[in-house]
């Protein structure tokens, strides 16, 4: 208990304050100490992402996806570069079979293109990052060309989740956040721009969280 005048701590049986001598009433308490200060509201740091995810690299899907290009470039590259190189071989007086240059450059394209696609896709996945904040999504990629992009949830018009056969096999999915492009907003067409969160794990869970953030 506390004195009603000076706030000195006393017992409940005390009739007069030992500090100031003021008479105390039953159940006395100091008005200066009776009011409890409200606890400050918890502030959420919006500079920290709520979720960070990266695309998953699936090697055989990358290699299988370029097979048509691989076959075309093998035939074209072997014929084009092999034909020109044949003249260089004859001019230099090299004792090589006539078919050597065609087979050599064909093999370069046949084995080189899948290797290039493999390395490029793997590095791209390693350098790609999607950061979900409370008010926006940021995307960063930095292998072939360094690129950064940010989309505010307030500008998002549609959210789609796509899971192909291969993606379902590996538990992946692609989330498309679409925003109206400048041309669409002007009424010239219905094209959309945005960010494709590609080949990420737990896509259904992320999709649900994004819908909640967008509201």
pTM of the predicted model over 0.75: no
User: Residues 61-115: pLDDT tens digits?
Assistant: 888 889 999 999 999 999 999 888 888 888 888 888 888 999 999 999 999 999 9
Alpha carbons 55 and 76: distance in angstroms, whole number: 33
| Res 172 pLDDT > 80 | yes
User: Residues 26-71: pLDDT tens digits?
Assistant: 555 544 444 444 455 455 556 788 889 999 998 988 888 899 999 9
């Amino acid at each position: 208990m506390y004195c009603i005048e000076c706030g000195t701590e006393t017992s409940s049986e005390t009739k007069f304050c030992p500090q100031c001598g003021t008479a105390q009433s039953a159940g006395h308490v100091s008005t200066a100490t009776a009011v409890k200060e409200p606890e400050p509201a918890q502030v959420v740091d919006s500079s920290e992402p709520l979720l960070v995810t990266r695309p998953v690299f699936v090697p055989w899907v990358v290699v299988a996806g370029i097979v048509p290009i691989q076959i075309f470039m093998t035939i074209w590259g072997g014929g084009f570069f092999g034909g020109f190189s044949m003249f260089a071989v004859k001019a230099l007086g090299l004792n090589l079979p006539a078919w050597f240059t065609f087979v050599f450059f064909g093999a370069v394209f046949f084995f080189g293109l899948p290797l290039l696609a493999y390395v490029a896709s793997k590095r791209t996945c390693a350098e790609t990052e999607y950061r979900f904040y409370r008010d926006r999504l940021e995307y960063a990629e930095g292998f072939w060309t360094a690129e950064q992009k940010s989309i505010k949830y307030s500008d998002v018009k549609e959210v789609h989740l796509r899971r192909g056969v291969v993606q379902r096999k590996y538990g992946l999915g692609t989330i498309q956040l679409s925003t109206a492009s400048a041309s669409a907003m002007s009424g010239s067409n219905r094209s959309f721009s945005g960010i494709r969160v590609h080949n990420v794990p737990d896509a259904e869970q992320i999709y649900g969280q994004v819908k909640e953030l967008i509201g």
